[in-house]
Structures are given as C-alpha cells and as structure tokens.
Structure 1
Amino acid sequence: MTMKARVRTDAMGNITIHMEGGLDYENTIPLRQELNSLATDNPSSTITLDLNGLDFVGSSGIGFFVETIKTLNEKKDQIKLSNVKNEFIRVFKLYDFDAMELLVNEFECDETEMLNMRFGNRRHTFQN
C-alpha cells in the first residue's frame, strides 16, 4: 500500500505533514529518515503529523512508527500528532504508546470562549 505525505510550513516555521494512504513497514523507513532530517534541520520547529488521511496502518508499520516518534521525542518534544482516529489510538496503546500526550490541542485559542459573557447574559440581543 502506498502512502503520500504533503509537507507544509506555516509563517512561524512550524511544519505539518499531512499523511494519506496506508502506513506499513515499507513506508516507515523513508518516513523515519525524512522526520529525522526535518527535526535536525529545524530544531526550533514543531513537527505535526496529521493522520486524518491514513486509511490503513499495518502491524509491522505501527511498531516502527511508534519507535520513530519515541526516539525523536527523547531529546525534545518536537513531534506532535493531529487528527488521530480512535482505532489508531487503540493500536498505539497496544505498543505502550500514549498518543494523547502528543495530540495537538486544536482549540487552544478558542475565540468563542467569552461570547457567553459578552452576549449570552443579555436579556435582549436586539433593539426595537
């Protein structure tokens, strides 16, 4: 099974890798090499792996993938995960890997948090 990865860099220098297709043992070796070179070349950047497009993760591939993430995060927590499907979280637990620690909080700057204070407590939200 093939896997495609699109690499995007934002204005802050953080890198997001959108992964699509299947992750098996054959794909994890080039992925490990690419992640290692990205982490080395961009030591102050956060590298986020967006797993939303992954349809399949092989048992041999997931073990090597988990080992890669753990190895790269030993020095500094530089690798994060995003859009991880529930079935992949369960498989990660089988490999004694807590993916919840690495999940990106996608709503950490929620601008709607204070809307209730501004608008919800009013008796009338319109004027006659």
Structure 2
Amino acid sequence: MSLKAQVRTDSLGNITVHMEGGLDYDNSLPFRRELQSLIKDNPLSTVTLDMNGLDFVGSSGIGVFVETLKILNDKKSQIQLSNVKTEFLKVFKLFEYDAMEAMIMDFENDDTEDLNTRYGNRRKTFQN
C-alpha cells in the first residue's frame, strides 16, 4: 500500500496536503516525519490535510496518524482535516480524541473553483 501526498501552498502561505492512496503502519511514520518537517519549516501557516483521496487506513496507521495530530496540536500548530470520509470519522471517534472535531472542516458549501485559483506555483510531492 502506498501513500502519495501533494503539497500546495496558496498565495497566503497556507498549505494543503492532498493525500492519496492508503495509510498503513509502513508509510504512516515517514508521513509523520514529512508533516512535522513541513510544519517546522512553516510555523505560521495553516496546514490542511485533504483526506479525499484516501481509500484505506489501516488500524495501526490510523493510530500513528491520530498520535501525530495530537503531537502537532499540542505544539499549537494550525492543522485542519478536510474531506474526511464517514468510515474514517467512525475510527477517529474510537480514539476519543476531542480536539479532532475542531480540526475537521466542512467543505460542503465551499466554492472549489475559488480554491483552485488561490494556489500559488509552489508544489511538492512525496511518496513512500
């Protein structure tokens, strides 16, 4: 199972990480390192994890993922989750992580065309 993440920075410096593929134990630790590095290099940016392209999250992978979110949230990082599928929400609730709800964004009424025009030229892709 592989995870691909495309990183985009908008004109305001906010970062969106578009996740695609599967998140399991093998790729969750490298993903954590990449995410921590991204936030360390951009401490004032809001980082949004777009989970729309995730099609699988293993139980051990989700454990590391939730732990990563806790670590970043404890450091007062601005991190948000978008396009979280129902099956992932159910698993998140099992971890009883109260701050998770505050991180999850509701994009049902967003104008995606506007989001596309705000992105700058800076892109980065990593895969493990």
Shift of the alpha carbon at 1:4?
Answer: 0.6
Give the CA RMSD over aligned residues.
1.7
1:88-103 to 2 correspondence within 5 Å? 88-98=88-98, 99-103=100-104
Distance 1:30 1:16 in 2: 18
Distance 2:106 2:92 in 1: 19
* Greater per-residue strand proportion: 2
- Report the TM-score when normalising by structure 1: 0.80
Which residue does the alignment assign to 2:107? Answer: 106
Distance 2:83 2:31 in 1: 18
Which residue does the alignment assign to 2:20? Answer: 20
Shift of the alpha carbon at 1:34?
Answer: 0.7
Distance 2:7 2:64 in 1: 21
Shift of the alpha carbon at 1:103?
Answer: 1.3
Q: Structure 1 regions of 5+ residues with no counterpart?
A: 111-128
Aligned-partner residue type, residue 38 of structure 2? L
Q: Once the two structures are superposed, what CA deviation does each residue of 1:52-107 show, in whole Å capped at 9, x if it has no partner?
A: 00000000000000000010111214111000001100000111124321012437
Q: Structure 2 regions of 5+ residues with no counterpart?
A: 112-128
Which residue does the alignment assign to 1:10? Answer: 10
Greater relative contact order structure (CA < 8 Å, 6+ sep): 2
Bigger CA radius of gyration: 1
| Structure 1 stretches of at least 4 aligned residues deviating more than 6 Å after TM superposition | 107-110
